[in-house]
Chain A
Amino acid sequence: MDADPLAAGVNAGQPVGVAIVDDHPVVIDGVRAWLSSEPRLRVLATGDDPDTVLRAAPGAEVVLLDLRLHGRMVLDKLAELSAAGRRVVVYSEHTDPQTMLAALDAGAVAFLAKHEGREHCVATVLAAASDRPYVPPALAGAMVGDARPDRPSLSDKEREALLLWFQSMSKASVARRMQISEHTVKQYVDRARIKYTRAGRPAATKAALLARAIEDGLVRPEEIGIYRSQASADRPTP
C-alpha cells in the first residue's frame, strides 16, 4: 500500500499533536497504538466528547473524529470544528459515498474508512497536519462515483487516477497502468481532492488546504474557481 511518507513535511522535530474522539475505548486504544509507532505523531487527548477532548488538548493540530458518536451522526459538530479551523480527519465505518462526500462538504480535511489500516491512518494524519490532502482508496471511490449535479468538474486524467487508485489500492500499479510516475499519480489524485474544497459551504480548513495547494504548486491561483476549464490543462504541475 502506498501511504506516502512524503506527505509529512511537518515542522521538523516537533511531533504533531493528535486528539482522538471515539465512543469505543477499544478503537481509541487501537488507533493510539497505530499512531504511537510513528515518532512524528503524539496523542494528546482521547475521549468520546469533542468539546471535552479539545478542552484537554487545545493545542491538538489534528482531530481524529469518529463520525458516529453515541448513535448519532455528528456532521454538524464536524462543520462547527472545521469552521473554527480545526483540522478534522473523519474516520468512520460508514463508508457509503454520500456520507464521505458530506463529510468533505462539512469541511473534513480527510475521510478515512475504519478498515483502511495503519499506514493510511498515519499518512492521513501527517498530511492533515500540514494542510495537505490525502485520499485513501475508499474516498477516491466516493469522489469518482460522485453523481451530484454540483460536483466539482474533474479532468479525465484526474478521474482515471482516482478510479484506478480506488480499484487497485496501489499507486505503483496505477503509475504503471497510466504510464506516469507515482508522484504524478498522487498529484492527479490530490488535485481532484483540492477541487472538492470548493464544494459545500466554505470552511477555514478548506481555505487552508487550498492555500497550501497553491503554495505547493499543485494548483495555480488562476485555475481556482473555474475548474471546468481544466479538462484541457490537466498536465501535472512540476
Chain B
Amino acid sequence: MATESGTTLAGGTVVHTGPAVDAAPRLRPVARAGTAGAVPQAHAVADASDRGARLVAVGIALAWHLAVSLPAVLAAGPGMAAPAVVAAGWLVTALVGVATGVRLLGGGLPPARRLAAVLLAVDAAVFAAAGERFLFTTANWVWGGLAWFFLLVLWQRPVRWLLALLAAHATIALVAVVLHGTTAPADLSRYAMYVYGTSTLPVAVFAGAAALTALARDRAGTAAATLAVAAEREAAERARSERQARLALVSGTAEEVLAALATGDADPADPAVRRRAVLAAARLRRLIAESDDVPDPLLHELRAAADLAERNGLPIELVAVGTPPELPVDVRRALADPLTAALAGARGAARLTVVAGPDEVVVSLVTPDHDGPDDPLPPTDGDGPVAYLHERDGEIRWTQTRWRQA
C-alpha cells in the first residue's frame, strides 16, 4: 500500500467491483460452433445405423412374401377353401409391405395401429380361407410370413406391441385349429412349434434392431458430449493464454519499474517514475479484477474505452456497481459514447463509474479540470431516454449520462 494518497492514488487505483466482460463474448461463439458441429455429426452416425436396420427388415419381409409365400399359394391354387380370399390377402399384405417400406426407407414411421388391424384382418381371413388341408402348409402363408410385416408396421414402437400382435396372431391360429377340428395331440404340438418358430425370429430381429439403434444413439451422444467438452476446453485455454499473454506484458512493465527502483536507477521522488508505477499498478489491478465474466455489452464497451485510454498513458479507475439490464443499442450508445469521447480528452487521471439497476443506469466520468478545450458536445436530442450532463467547476470535469426506465 502506498503512503502517497490524494490524486496519485485516486487515479492509480483500479477497483472493479462489477462484472468484467472481456473474454466471454469473444469466446462463447467458439464453444458454440464446436458443439454445434458435433451434434449433427453424431446424429448422422445414429441415423445411418438405423437406416441399415430398416433396409434389412423391409428386405426380409418382401423377399419372404415373394419367394416363399407366393409360390406356395400358386401351387396350392384352387385346392384351397377360398383361393381368391387367400390371394387377395396376399395382395393386401404386399401393398401394406411396399407402402410401409417406402415410408420406413424415407425416414418416417407407418401408422402402426391401423396397419396392424389390417394385417390381423388378413390373418383371420386367410386362416379361414386356406382350409383344413392347407392349415399347416406354406400355402397358409400368413402363419410364417405375416410376422415379418408386423415387424415393419411396428418399427421403433415398444417391443410389447409386437408381442401383443404375435399373441393375437397365435390366438387366431388356435381358433382356426380348433374350428377346423385338428385338435389331435400331434396337431396341437405342431401348432405350438409353429407359433414358437414363427415368433422367435421376428422378435429377435426386432429387439436386436432396437438395441442397435439405442446403442448407436448412445455412442453418438457420447461423441457429441466429448466434442463439446473439447471445444469448451479449447475456448477456456485460449482465454487463459490470452489473459496470460496480457499479464506477461503488464507484469513486464511492472517489473521494469520495480527493478529500476531497486537498483536505484529510478528515483521514487521523480514524478515520471511515480507515474510509471501508478500506470503499471493500475493495469495489473484491472487485469486481476477481470476474472469474473458476465458478458454485459455496456460494461464491455466502457472497459474497451478505458483500456484504450490507459494505453495512451492515462491512469484510469473503472468501478461498476450492479448489473445493467438489457438495453436497446441506441440507449447503450447514448450512455457510452459521450463518456468515451470525454475520455479521449482526459488528462491526469480519470474515474469512470457505472451504477446500474433494473430501471436506472448512470455512467459518469470525472477527471481533473484543465485549461484545455472543452470536451466535444454531446448529441443534441434532449428528449431521449438518456440524460446527458457535462460540467467543469475548476476542480473537476464531470460527464454523466443517465438512463431511466420510462
Contact = CB atoms under 8 A, between A and B. Distances in A.
Interface in A93-113: 95-97, 113
Interface in B164-203: none
Contacts of B396: 168, 170, 173
Interface stretch (B6-14, B59-67, B143-151): B6-14
B364 interface: yes
A19 to B, nearest CB: 18
Contacts of A176: 393
Contacts of A31: 1
A170 B395 contact: yes
Nearest to A121: B5
Contacts of B321: 97, 141-142, 144-145, 166
Contact of B1 (A30, A144, A167, A170): A30
A189 to B, nearest CB: 15
Contacts of B351: 167-169
A114 B13 CA distance: 10
B93 interface: no
Interface in A182-209: none
Given A142-B321, A167-B364, A95 B353 contact: no
Contact of B13 (A97, A115, A142): A115
Interface string B343-372: 000000001010111100010101000000
Most B Cβ at <10 Å: residue of A118, A167, A169: A167
B17 interface: yes
A89 B364 CA distance: 28
B15 A167 contact: no
A138 B398 contact: no
B353 A118 contact: no
Contacts of A167: 351, 353, 362, 364, 366, 398, 400
Contacts of A170: 366, 395-396
Nearest to A99: B17
Most A Cβ at <10 Å: residue of B322, B355, B358, B395: B355
Contacts of B1: 26-27, 30-31, 114-115
A6 interface: no
Contacts of A113: 15
B263 interface: no
Task: Give the interface size bracket for A toward B.
Answer: 20 to 34
Most B Cβ at <10 Å: residue of A33, A145, A147, A172: A145
B6 A1 contact: yes
Contact of A115 (B3, B15, B391, B400): B15
Interface residues of B, number: 28
B3 A118 contact: yes
Given A119-B5, A167-B398, A141 B10 contact: no
B319 interface: yes
Contact of A34 (B3, B6, B353, B395): B3
Contacts of A34: 3
A97 B398 contact: no
Given A145-B356, A172-B395, A138 B319 contact: yes
B17 A95 contact: yes
B358 A147 contact: yes
Interface in A108-130: 113-115, 117-119
Given A169-B10, A173-B398, A117 B5 contact: yes
A88 interface: no
B17 A141 contact: yes
A115 B12 CA distance: 9
Given A26-B1, A118-B3, A169-B366, 7 more contacts: A97-B321, A114-B1, A142-B321, A167-B398, A172-B395, A173-B393, A173-B396
12 contacts: A34-B3, A115-B9, A118-B5, A119-B5, A141-B319, A142-B17, A147-B358, A167-B366, A169-B351, A173-B393, A173-B395, A177-B391
Interface of A: 1, 26-27, 30-31, 33-34, 95-97, 113-115, 117-119, 138, 141-142, 144-145, 147, 163, 166-170, 172-173, 176-177
